[in-house]
Amino acid sequence: MSDPETPTPRHPEPGAISRREERLRLDAQVEIVLLRHGEPDWTPGGGLSVENARLTERGRRQAEAAAQRLAGSAIDAIYVSPLRRAQETAEPLAKIAGLTPVTIDGLAEIGLALRGLSQVEVDTYFHQAARRRLGEHWEGWPGGETFREFHARVTRTLAELLARHKVRRESEDEFTVWTLPPRRHRIVLVAHGGTNAVALTHLLDVPGVPWEWNRFELELTAYAVVQSRPVGMTGFVWCLQNFNEVDHLRAASLR
């Protein structure tokens, strides 16, 4: 026989846990969307490769599909790489959101040396570079920016960008936390596979490796979402809420 003074355990209503987790996502103080650019036209007209490619027609449709999906919720700021493929990807989103995108040079992809090469030569370039000893990957792609320089550039740029929104990285005990801003922010970064991968590594406090684009691989015009989650007394950490989201591409038959 049970003790009449002992409260009967109450089980949560069906769906209550799911609703509580959904409220946590909706109540996030800061949300960052990392969008990769659409399909680039690296060899216009089938010729030699260009250094600063525009989007293909398919890439422009991909950008439109991403814009329709992301603009469904209010956006406070759009930051974009200076490279054409990122600029053209950001255009439809900025138009729907009614915002002027801010170009940030530090969000550019890692520097490469591919101009004037044929597609066969480009494929050979990447194949041979990928087969180097692991320690040599810190040097970046041959003739281009070193990975250490690239990593430092992207993380420095990200820190400066977030500081505009009163979000700063701090240390507490042996942990990394971030300061909570005075109001909510939803920020979109339109950049590249390498840039977005390094940004994720930095935000999630994961030690870097010189092949981040393989570890956090976003498809063309896919996006990742990180949200703030409070920890401790005044700070927060980042939660990888969504990664390689491509439903908008499936819906538009672009994947």
Residue 212 belongs to a domain: yes
pLDDT at 182: 87
pLDDT at 242: 96
Q: How far apart are CA 233 and CA 231, in angstroms?
A: 7
For the whole prediction, is pTM greater than 0.85?
yes
pLDDT at 32: 98
- Can you tell me which residue has the tokens 């406090």? 205
Highest mean pLDDT among 47-61, 160-174, 187-201: 187-201
Residue 221 belongs to a domain: yes
DSSP 52: S
**Across all residues in the chain, what is the average pLDDT?**
91
CA 27 to each of CA 31, 69, 101, 167, 185: distance values in angstroms, whole numbers, following the listed order: 10, 20, 25, 17, 11
pLDDT at 4: 57
Q: For residue 161, is pLDDT > 80?
A: yes
Residue 125 belongs to a domain: no
Residue 95 belongs to a domain: yes
Q: Does residue 115 or residue 251 have the better pLDDT? A: 251
Q: For 53-57, what is the mean pLDDT? A: 96
Banded model confidence at residue 8, pLDDT cuts 50, 70, 90: low
pLDDT at 255: 87
Residue 199 belongs to a domain: yes
The number of folded domains in the chain is 1
CATH of the domain at 151: 3.40.50.1240
Q: For residue 131, is pLDDT > 80?
A: yes
Residue 157 belongs to a domain: yes
Three-state DSSP class for residue 188? strand
Banded model confidence at residue 15, pLDDT cuts 50, 70, 90: low
95-131 in b/e form (b: 16+ CB < 10 A) is eebebebebbebbbbbebebeebeeeebeebeeebee
Residue 121 belongs to a domain: no
Q: For 79-87, what is the mean pLDDT? A: 98
Q: For residue 7, is pLDDT > 70?
A: no
Banded model confidence at residue 87, pLDDT cuts 50, 70, 90: very high
pLDDT at 234: 78
Residue 126 belongs to a domain: no
Q: Which domain holds residue 32?
A: 28-111+146-251
